[in-house]
Chains A and B, each alone.
Chain A
Amino acid sequence: MMVLLSLIACGPPHQDAAGDKAATAGGSSGGRKMIQVRGSDTMVNIAQAWAEEYRKVEPNVAVAVSGGGSGTGIAALVNGTVDLANSSREMKAEEKEKIKAKFNKDAIEHVVAYDALAVYVHKDNPMTRITKTQLQAIYGESGAANNWSDLGVTIPSCADGSIVRLSRQNNSGTYEFFREWTLGKGDFKLGSRDMQGSKEVVDAVASTPCSIGYSGMGYHTDALRWLPVSTDDAAPAIEPSVATVHDKSYPLSRPLYMTSAGEAEGDAARYLQWIQSDAGQAIVENAGFVPLPAAMRKPAP
């Protein structure tokens, strides 16, 4: 589908993309203009909701969204096959250099929403909070906690008492964010079940009493619980919520970006502005993410 769309959208070559055969920025087919967006799996749902809603606002512009991960989106931006890259992490220095080298412009990262990761456990798990130290013991390569009893926790429906660690595949933005926050430069303990998506983690936790997992706050359902998180043992544990993300007291939250090579132009610029306006931000809330605070919003285009 994506390939087909990018073929259709293959307009005149991007003026700065020297020798790039697949530049689609500003491409059009017939009267319909096309904006290509790719990247973070965390952002796929919300990006699709934006694209659908934007159709009503601007019927002549079609937005094509696909996932694949933050790294994939940025790689596609470097290759010139997309106009905007969805990314749930800050760009790496080497990625910025690639953009600079290719387009002779700086990459510009626009904050479009916030994501808060939540630490999820099964409903039967009696824990009321979790500290960074506990997460390090559970997830860290040298962490000592392999059984719930190591943390002084007993889960009635978890027969053998082992901690079933759920994680993500090793190049998802969620994986990197959680690893960086919990372990810094360190690595995860081997043997975690690595799920392919945010929803898979939540589903698996809901059906596995012995498990613990991390996933977007927007994926919370009534079938499982999240734990308030604290950065150190003395600090108060903070529950994930819009308010705690905005006042930056909830530690496990991050901005979500849409990145363009150079300042976005034309349709893509208007699309970005719409996303950062009240209309676009209303959708963020519905999708379970945290919208921008009023001060960071832009007027509707």
Chain B
Amino acid sequence: MSTSPRTPRVRARRSPVVLIGERLIEVLIHACGLSAVILVFSIFAFVFREGFTMLGRLDWGQFLGSIEWYPSSHSNVRYGTLALLAGTASVSLGAMTVAVPVGIGAAVFVSEFCSGRLKEVLKIAIEVGAAIPSVVWGFIGLVIVNPLLIDLFDAPMGLNALNGALLLAMMCLPVIISVGEDALKAVPDSYREAAEAMGATRWQMVVRVLLPAARNGLLAAVLLGVGRAIGETMAVLMATGHAVHLPTSPLDSVRTLTATIAAELGETARGSDHYQVLFVIGMMLFAITFVINLLADLIVRGSRR
């Protein structure tokens, strides 16, 4: 409480209406804050409710260990997701092998090697890149990358893991670059000054001083990118060829977990086994992204310490 002589007078003049209004707004803001938490929990609760009766009945050995995905078979229904998991993993890994070096390199460039106008333009361009809808990326995969891959690699078909990985890399790059740049910016200037004082070249400064110092933040950037890659649906649905198949080469068509849900959920009867298994796949995706986000969070916390 302030003891200044003016404060009590101001307080006295406030009408009850204003006070109630203020209280209401406070409650409203609280509710807005809580709504994010409530939403996430209700989504999880919904996904769990639709799929949980399947959890007990599911043949987990087959679910996780078999590639045989035959949800609508007349003779022998099989729900093996191994090929779908491999599809998600291969596309995400492929995306990361492209996006991590390019993204970190771009972050270093934006943060350390350019300034003024160029930096501003680059930052805006990166932000615009993050805003391109995924269906647009999917379309690019379909009409541009597809014929390109056929020409370049003599592939029988350009809709494959490589196509999906390239698109996902493009989609993760903005995340990796902007979070990575923030991490580099957080390295105190005294490190840079010390490195220069020791006579280090710029390359030596980046590789031996800045990257180790920003290690945790950069790792978080990469993990956020991975999360985006695993959760992405539309672009991979359009670009990967959608084939249930254990990939042995980047030019093989694959099918991802998310694309399977997107393609099949619309036409399954509500409450059927197939419907519930798709929700179990949803839970699996939830678990994977949760673990990745948790890791990213723990690492960011580590880097603040």
Listed in ascending order, the chain A residues whose CB lies under 8 Å from chain B are 68-69, 71-72, 75, 158-160, 162, 164, 169-172, 175-176, 180, 185-187, 190-196, 204, 207-211
Say yes or no: B157 contacts A164, CB within 8 Å: yes
B156: chain A residues at CB < 8 Å are 158-160, 162, 164, 208-211
Given known A158-B156, A194-B263, A196-B263, contact A170–B71 (CB-CB < 8 A): yes
The docked-state distance in angstroms from the alpha carbon of A69 to that of B237 is 18
The docked-state distance in angstroms from the alpha carbon of A68 to that of B41 is 30
In the complex, residue of chain B having the shortest beta-carbon distance to the beta carbon of A70 = B267
Say yes or no: B67 contacts A72, CB within 8 Å: no
Say yes or no: B266 contacts A192, CB within 8 Å: no
The interface stretch among B49-57, B72-80, B169-177, B180-188 is B72-80
Say yes or no: B157 contacts A193, CB within 8 Å: yes
CB of B241 within 8 Å of the partner chain: yes
Say yes or no: B244 contacts A190, CB within 8 Å: yes
Interface centre among A72, A180, A187 (most CB of B within 10 A): A187
B243: chain A residues at CB < 8 Å are 190-194
- Chain B 71-115, CB-CB to A under 8 Å as 1, else 0, gives 111111000000100000000000000000000000000000000
Sampled A-B contacts (22; CB under 8 Å): A68-B267, A158-B156, A160-B156, A162-B156, A164-B157, A169-B242, A169-B267, A180-B74, A185-B74, A187-B70, A187-B73, A187-B75, A187-B76, A190-B67, A190-B245, A192-B243, A193-B241, A193-B242, A194-B244, A194-B255, A204-B159, A211-B156
Listed in ascending order, the chain B residues whose CB lies under 8 Å from chain A are 67-76, 83, 147, 154, 156-157, 159, 237, 241-245, 253, 255, 263-264, 266-270
B75: chain A residues at CB < 8 Å are 185-187
Say yes or no: B263 contacts A71, CB within 8 Å: no
A68: chain B residues at CB < 8 Å are 266-267
Among A72, A160, A180, A204, which residue has its beta carbon within 8 angstroms of that of B266? Answer: A72
Q: Is the interface of A mostly helix, strand, loop or mixed?
A: loop
Given known A159-B156, A164-B156, contact A71–B244 (CB-CB < 8 A): no
Among B68, B242, B270, which residue has its beta carbon within 8 angstroms of that of A195? Answer: B242
In the complex, residue of chain B having the shortest beta-carbon distance to the beta carbon of A190 = B244
The docked-state distance in angstroms from the alpha carbon of A180 to that of B73 is 10
The docked-state distance in angstroms from the alpha carbon of A217 to that of B154 is 30
The docked-state distance in angstroms from the alpha carbon of A176 to that of B243 is 17
The docked-state distance in angstroms from the alpha carbon of A53 to that of B267 is 28
Say yes or no: A171 contacts B253, CB within 8 Å: no
Q: How far is the CB of B134 from chain A (nearest CB, A)?
A: 15
Say yes or no: B70 contacts A191, CB within 8 Å: no
In the complex, residue of chain A having the shortest beta-carbon distance to the beta carbon of B240 = A193
The docked-state distance in angstroms from the alpha carbon of A228 to that of B241 is 27
Q: How far is the CB of B172 from chain A (nearest CB, A)?
A: 24
Q: Given contacts A75-B269, A196-B242, could you give 5 more A-B pairs where the C-beta distance is less than 8 Å?
A: A71-B267, A170-B264, A191-B243, A193-B157, A210-B156
A194: chain B residues at CB < 8 Å are 242-244, 255, 263
Q: How far is the CB of B144 from chain A (nearest CB, A)?
A: 13
Q: How far is the CB of B248 from chain A (nearest CB, A)?
A: 11
Ordered nearest first, which 9 A-B pairs have the shortest CB separation?
A171-B267, A191-B245, A69-B267, A210-B156, A185-B75, A170-B72, A194-B242, A185-B74, A193-B241
The docked-state distance in angstroms from the alpha carbon of A169 to that of B241 is 11
Q: How far is the CB of B33 from chain A (nearest CB, A)?
A: 30
Q: How far is the CB of B203 from chain A (nearest CB, A)?
A: 43
Among A162, A175, A190, A208, which residue has its beta carbon within 8 angstroms of that of B68? Answer: A190
Interface centre among A162, A190, A195, A196 (most CB of B within 10 A): A190
A169: chain B residues at CB < 8 Å are 242, 263-264, 267
The docked-state distance in angstroms from the alpha carbon of A68 to that of B268 is 10
The docked-state distance in angstroms from the alpha carbon of A159 to that of B244 is 23
Say yes or no: A71 contacts B269, CB within 8 Å: yes
Q: How far is the CB of A148 from chain B (nearest CB, A)?
A: 11
A196: chain B residues at CB < 8 Å are 237, 242, 263
The docked-state distance in angstroms from the alpha carbon of A187 to that of B269 is 20
Say yes or no: B267 contacts A72, CB within 8 Å: yes
A172: chain B residues at CB < 8 Å are 267
Say yes or no: B264 contacts A190, CB within 8 Å: no
Q: How far is the CB of A270 from chain B (nearest CB, A)?
A: 30
Among B67, B72, B157, B270, which residue has its beta carbon within 8 angstroms of that of A204? Answer: B157
B270: chain A residues at CB < 8 Å are 75
The docked-state distance in angstroms from the alpha carbon of A210 to that of B72 is 27
Interface centre among B67, B72, B264, B270 (most CB of A within 10 A): B72
B264: chain A residues at CB < 8 Å are 169-171
The docked-state distance in angstroms from the alpha carbon of A12 to that of B243 is 46
B154: chain A residues at CB < 8 Å are 159-160
